[in-house]
Structure 1
Amino acid sequence: MAARSAGKQPPDPVRQNRLLCERVRKELQYQGLHTQYGVNPLRRVHTITKKPMSWHDNIEEPADARFLNLIHHAALEPTKKYSEPQTESQEIGWNTTPLVHVDRTDCRLYFPRHRTEITK
């Protein structure tokens, strides 16, 4: 092994560059950018149907009302689940009702957008 590698000369940089350029040119020639994707028509899709006589596919279980209530209760917002905030971060924005009722006729607290010639 050592005798073989001792007789080899280091690769010529000009030849190495020419080989690299040729390889890159061939790769770019056959490389394409795909922007539209779809189902491969050549790949077989195996569909597995249910067995008609299997007992576990044909069982109709009644819905458990207690379990459904538990799931619906877990999906509620924290303000509807609890009477008080449970964490310190829930304290921010816990009370969402406005302190002062918005009166749209009072110009002191209500500033609607006005349409003028400049804003058109």
Structure 2
Amino acid sequence: MEKSMSYRDKKVMSMGTVCEMTGLSERRIRYYEERKLIFPERTSTGFRKYSFSDIEKLMDIAEKVEEGVQTDEIRRDYRKKETDAELKKKMIRGQLNSHFQRSGFK
């Protein structure tokens, strides 16, 4: 059974809506996609779809770029955060498994 997806992560908004909400141009958003900072879904006809999480990420990216941070550095930062989050999940899972094994649960 598939986990239910948070409303924040559902890709339902068009490029036009995202441009209105963020103030970013289509060109700028496509550039961030080319730089592998944002990953919209594509409809069967090729239109991009974005989520609320994507909008928050776009705003964060635009703010960092405005501060002078390079897109390569932003991408490295995001990858590190994702790796750290995965590592933390694995550690917690391991601690829980260890606890339950010591408690006699299997």
Question: Shorter-chain TM-score category?
Answer: under 0.3
Q: Larger relative CO (CA 8 A, sep 6+): 1 or 2?
A: 2
Rg comparison, structure with higher value: 1
> TM-score, normalising length from structure 2?
0.22
Return the structure number with greater helix share.
Answer: 2
> TM-score, normalising length from structure 1?
0.20
